[in-house]
Structure 1
Amino acid sequence: MVATRAGASSIHPNTTTQPPAMRQGVNSHPNKTKTAAARAKETPKSSTHGFCVPYEIRPSTIAGRGVFALEPIKRGTLVWEYAIGRSVVEYRNESDLRTRLDGATRQEARDVLEHIYIWKDAAVEIIDDAKIWNHTPNPNTGYHPDDPDIGGGLGSYALRDIAAGEELTDDYGDHHELAWFEGLCKEFGATSCTDLGRKIR
């Protein structure tokens, strides 16, 4: 894995050029009897579901593709919102995540695992274009710059003023770690976001 939360994903290709009516998320056809893992398997394409600012996906000098601001973003602005079923799916245990990976090739499973991060006790799969967000030890987004408790530590805020055309970056080393998830990554030959973030400092 290179220093990216996404790169080219065979499971969730970029579809931001589709009109909004054509984009579907986890809750497009809700079925409350399905588990999070079952709903995630049905998650079709990536989209703008959690983004609060205009952006585009294009080649990155950091790695693969990246997320770039289309307009200036002021310090403290909510850039991306953590919304279960709209921008993320949470897996609270290994069994649910294994269900998500059922039927995937080894490469597809690795791709999914390398685009999951850990927040407290959950493995969080990003199901929108935020999975393209690249890592750097000096990011321009993260917890709110004035109070990390704003938003409950969820979502990404501008840590400083961000210029139009600038790539949005995150520090993967700030994410948490779960032993069962790290074990699953090793099983499939994946590098977790947390591990990558700690290696690239």
Structure 2
Amino acid sequence: MLFEATDECTFPTEPAFLVPVEVKKTLQYGEDHYGVFASEPIPAQTKIWAWTDRVKKIHHTALGSHIKSNFGDDKKLIQLFLRQGFVLPGEGNDQVFNSNPTDAGRFMNHSNSPTCGPDGTLRDIQKGEELTMDYSFHGNPKWYRDICERYGVLTEAEIARNAK
């Protein structure tokens, strides 16, 4: 279940994150890759991120024109855009590509032993520990697979499969 931000939400260090975090390079995932790390201990079952207006919803039928008008033919920028976005599962949700270019949520990496799930932390998180999720939770519709293949980007489902 997604947690939507309200006027009462405060973001201690990064927009959309409800807990103190920092973004750091994660060379184990490749050059120029980043991850989200706890700035202090976080108890299990803590909501860590809120859905804000920073997440732009793009219907899959408009995705091609969005890419063209924002990135032209710059393949590296297009790949980055696709890598940092996501598709939610479920009827209706799987028709929309979600882009969050201005919040650190885009830096959450996949793990087969994730520290976080859709509803928050799965266990106690230590200060300095990376916040990760299982990408296999996200949607993987054909239009998403096709556009990722077109630009040479692994889908989140492929990343999850390759990590096993």
Q: Given the two structures, how large is their TM-score scaled by the length of structure 2? A: 0.78
The one-letter code of the counterpart of 1:141 is C
CA distances 1:45-95 after superposition (whole Å, capped 9, x unpaired)? xx9221101111113364232111011111111111122x22x1112223x
Residue matched to 2:6: none
2:142 aligned with 1:142: no
The 2-side partners of 1:143 and 1:132 are apart by 15
- SS where residue 90 of structure 1 aligns? strand
The 5 A counterparts of 1:117-136 are 117-120=86-89, 121=94, 122-127=96-101, 128-136=103-111
Q: Residue 5 of structure 2 corresponds to which residue in structure 1?
A: none
Moved >3 Å (runs of 4+) = none
User: Per-residue displacement from partner, 1:126-182 (whole Å, max 9, x unpaired)?
Assistant: 2211111111110000123xxxxxxxxxxxx11111111111111111111111111
Deviates more, 1:126-135 or 1:157-166: 126-135
Q: Does 1:106 align with 2:75?
A: yes
| Alpha-carbon distance change, 61 to 110 in structure 1, aligned in 2, over 3 angstroms | closer
Aligned partners of 1:138 and 1:171 also within 8 Å: yes
- 1:52 maps to 18
Letter in structure 1 aligned against 2:16: G
The residue aligned with 1:171 is 134
In structure 2, distance between residues paired with 1:179 and 1:119: 13
Single out whichever of 126-135 and 70-79 deviates more from structure 2: 126-135
Confirm or deny that 1:191 pairs with 2:154: yes
Post-superposition offset of 1:104: 4.4
TM, length-normalised to structure 1: 0.65
Equivalent-residue separation in structure 2 for 1:192 and 1:138 (angstroms): 19
**Aligned position for 1:92:** 59
1:135/1:171 contact within 8 Å kept: yes
Q: Distance in 2 between matches of 1:192 and 1:179?
A: 11
Unmatched runs of 5 consecutive residues or more in structure 1: 1-46, 145-156
1:25 is aligned to none
| Amino acid across the alignment from 1:53 | V
| Structure-2 separation of matches of 1:108 and 1:61 | 19
Tell me how far apart the structure 2 counterparts of residues 132 and 104 of structure 1 sit (CA, whole Å). Answer: 24
> Unaligned stretches of 5+ in structure 2?
1-12
CA–CA separation in structure 1 for the residues paired with 2:28 and 2:48: 20
Q: What's the counterpart of residue 5 of structure 1?
A: none
